[in-house]
Amino acid sequence: MEISSELFCVVSPYLSKSRPALDVTKGTDNVASAHLAQILCSFTDMSALISLRKRAQGEKPLAGAKIVGCTHITAQTAVLIETLCALGAQCRWSACNIYSTQNEVAAALAEAGVAVFAWKGESEDDFWWCIDRCVNMDGWQANMILDDGGDLTHWVYKKYPNVFKKIRGIVEESVTGVHRLYQLSKAGKLCVPAMNVNDSVTKQKFDNLYCCRESILDGLKRTTDVMFGGKQVVVCGYGEVGKGCCAALKALGAIVYITEIDPICALQACMDGFRVVKLNEVIRQVDVVITCTGNKNVVTREHLDRMKNSCIVCNMGHSNTEIDVTSLRTPELTWERVRSQVDHVIWPDGKRVVLLAEGRLLNLSCSTVPTFVLSITATTQALALIELYNAPEGRYKQDVYLLPKKMDEYVASLHLPSFDAHLTELTDDQAKYLGLNKNGPFKPNYYRY
């Protein structure tokens, strides 16, 4: 298979003198071939991001941008980083999750000249050391942040306030990270503009919903081989992630319960055919517990003590705070590693609870996620970075903003050719009747898709 020149900087480690050129169709080197093939597949499946790159590459809209990123480091991230570099940026990167890094991808990026500080299975100390190494470098001053979870932003804000003040923009893609940004803004401590990508339509409705609808089963099957027909499952939270998880589980015949704090989401769950309960009401009978709230202490030690033998516990939210894993690290409980990212926590009476990824994000820790959906998010992130970096002075204040509706629509339009989809165009008379520009935006900002 011939490798395109624009992909070379991502896959170059596999083509170096120390390693013969690989033909991914032969698969002679299992590890390297698999990851090379994965990057190539990601490149192909992220056609919209590549289209954006081709359209903007001549203008170099990120020339002079020094982007420090903290996201999952996967084959799809490699294509995003390579795109940002092609648009003129310099990048330094760390991981937002200690289990989600694909080591071969991180190595490929490093050999291609991107400073990457991450590896799969970091300790907590390693995690913060890697973030610090991204920021603390003589002669290199970051001026943009791309974050997933807010840890990088928090670290820069607390440890390097002078660096934080010189940041031109922050792009954040998670519930937890966005919450932290709004807290800073409310307290009057956010001294740079920030873009809330998590609540953009193209992130929330596609990554959060469709990605989780497919990857929840992948993660659970790879780790536990569980059969879902007839199993009782409780999903904590019925936001977009919860909706995606429930749709997949219901389709396989699982009996699904929902816990919710929001009456609107709860009513949606009821109308979708799910029982809305308190966790305490079903904790003794369910076979699987899945959290996806973005909150903390959703599943407590009391809940864990009351679970039935062999109950599977996992988290589909971003943070590692939803399940109180710390309370399980006590002398009376025994931990038994069954396989990678799968632990049996054993009580004195012999009861076992199956804990996945130590309470961290299940799908990116234990499985892969659909590349096409990640292309939507990556394209949204790239546009948000370009927008903040190039915005005229005064357009964005020291506050948190949603991605402009026109950009959301543009991201969606870039992905439609993959489905051979053809949009209907408004006539002048129709546009006038609706009070719209023929080229969009087509919905007001308050519209709920």
Tell me how crowded residue 330 is: count the other CB atoms within 10 A of its CB: 8
Please tell me what DSSP assigns to residue 296. S
Bond into 417 cis (ω within 30): no
Please tell me what DSSP assigns to residue 239. S
Residue type, 245: C
Q: Which residue has the tokens 């807010």?
A: 150
Element housing 430 (H / E): helix 428-434
Tell me how crowded residue 206 is: count the other CB atoms within 10 A of its CB: 23
Let me know the angle formed at the C-alpha of 91 by 204 and 171, rounded to the nearest 5 degrees.
Answer: 30
Q: Is 273 annotated as a binding residue?
A: no
Q: Is 244 annotated as a binding residue?
A: yes
CA–CA gap between residue 387 and residue 195 (Å, rounded): 9
Q: Is 240 annotated as a binding residue?
A: yes
Q: Is 350 annotated as a binding residue?
A: no
What would the two tokens of residue 27 be?
């698969």
CA distances from 247 to 62, 164, 242, 256, 258 (A): 39, 41, 9, 9, 12
- Does residue 95 sit in helix, strand or coil? strand
308 contacts 316 by C-beta, under 8 angstroms: no
Q: Is 241 annotated as a binding residue?
A: yes
Nearest Cα to 101, choosing from 125, 130, 141, 144?
A: 130
Residues 6 or more apart in contact with residue 102 via CB below 8 angstroms = 35, 38, 73, 74, 75, 120
Residue type, 114: V
CA–CA gap between residue 291 and residue 289 (Å, rounded): 7
Tell me how crowded residue 66 is: count the other CB atoms within 10 A of its CB: 16
Q: Is 177 annotated as a binding residue?
A: no
46 contacts 24 by C-beta, under 8 angstroms: no
Residues 6 or more apart in contact with residue 79 via CB below 8 angstroms = 10, 39, 42, 43, 46, 49, 50, 378
CA distances from 428 to 328, 422, 432, 434 (A): 64, 19, 6, 10
Q: Is 173 annotated as a binding residue?
A: yes
Distance of CA 429 to the CA centre of its chain: 42
Q: Residues 422-440, buried b or exposed e (16+ Cβ, 10 A)?
A: eeeebeeeeeeeeeeeeee
Write out the binding residues for substrate: 74, 148, 173, 203, 207
Write out the binding residues: 74, 148, 173, 203, 207, 239-244, 260, 363
Write out the binding residues for NAD(+): 239-244, 260, 363
